[in-house]
Each structure stands twice: as structure tokens, then as C-alpha cells.
């Protein structure tokens, strides 16, 4: 798949950003990657809400081979072949994939409480280190000679 083909394929969906990635392209909207176009095919982002759709179509999750094993990536599933000829239905699937990618991005964001806790922990060692630095610069008291 080349860039021009992908631009045409997503024309009914709306503007997408297509960037080189691995052996193909990453497809995103507003910085959220929702599809991968690789040698093996076109894969859409999926989650527990959308995986049943892919399974019903007979699609499989993205897989790649390492020297030791086959790795399955359950967050990306192959787009059903019939959607390449139905741009309207492809747009529906693309919106669902984008929504799945957005949900995944929300799960990755640290909660405000955790961020505040981490900031407090980070500040404490700095204060201690600063205190040690001051302690090291003080001169030791002089001993009296007898």
C-alpha cells in the first residue's frame, strides 16, 4: 500500500496524517494513531468494545515473527477485505478504531493524584540532597590542643 492509495481509501473518513512506520505507515488523527498499513495488510486499533466486530468478520490480530516466537498484538486487527471496496462502511470502522485508540490513550494517562504524589516524592530527595550539600560545606569544629 502506498501513501496515495491510503489517502484515497480514507477520503470519506476525513483528513488523516500518514507517517512512515516500520515497513509501512502509521495513520492518525490529531496525533492519535488508529491504523497501521504494513506489508501484511491494513490493521485498525481495537479494544474489548470492537474486537467482537473483527472476530465476526473472520479477522485476525496483527502478528509478527521473531527468531524465537510469533508475537500477537491484540490491539491491532486486520481490516476485513470487503471494506476496501466500501468506503462508507470503512469510515464507520475507522471511527470505531479512532475511538478505541482514544480510549487507550486515556487509560495511559496518569491520574492527577498519582502525578501529585510523584511530584512530592521527587521534591523530597532534592531537599535532602541540598541539605547534605550544605552540611558538607560547614567546617568541622577545631580541636583544642593540650
The tens digit of pLDDT for each residue in 84-104 reads 999 899 999 999 999 999 999
Judged on CB neighbours under 10 Å (0-12, 13-18, 19+), 32 is middle
pLDDT for residue 116: 58
Percent of residues, the chain, with pLDDT higher than 70: 74
pTM value surpassing 0.85 = no
Within 13 Å and on the Cβ side, how many CA atoms surround 87?
10
Q: Which helix (H) or strand (E) holds 134?
A: helix 112-137
Give the separation between CA 146 and CA 77, rounded to whole angstroms.
85
Q: Are 101 and 45 in contact (CB under 8 A)?
A: yes
pLDDT for residue 1: 80
Amino acid at each position: 500500500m502506498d501513501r496515495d492509495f491510503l489517502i484515497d481509501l480514507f477520503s470519506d473518513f476525513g483528513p488523516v496524517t500518514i507517517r512512515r512506520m516500520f515497513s509501512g505507515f502509521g495513520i492518525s488523527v490529531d496525533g492519535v494513531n488508529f491504523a497501521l498499513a504494513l506489508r501484511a495488510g491494513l490493521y485498525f486499533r481495537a479494544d474489548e468494545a470492537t474486537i467482537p466486530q473483527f472476530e465476526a468478520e473472520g479477522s485476525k490480530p496483527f502478528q509478527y515473527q521473531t527468531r524465537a516466537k510469533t508475537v500477537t498484538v491484540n490491539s491491532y486487527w486486520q481490516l476485513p477485505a470487503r471494506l476496501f471496496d466500501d468506503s462508507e462502511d470503512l469510515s464507520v470502522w475507522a471511527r470505531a478504531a479512532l475511538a478505541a485508540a482514544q480510549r487507550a490513550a486515556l487509560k495511559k494517562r496518569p491520574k492527577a493524584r498519582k502525578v501529585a504524589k510523584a511530584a512530592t516524592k521527587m521534591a523530597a530527595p532534592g531537599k535532602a540532597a541540598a541539605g547534605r550539600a550544605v552540611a558538607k560545606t560547614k567546617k568541622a569544629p577545631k580541636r583544642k590542643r593540650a
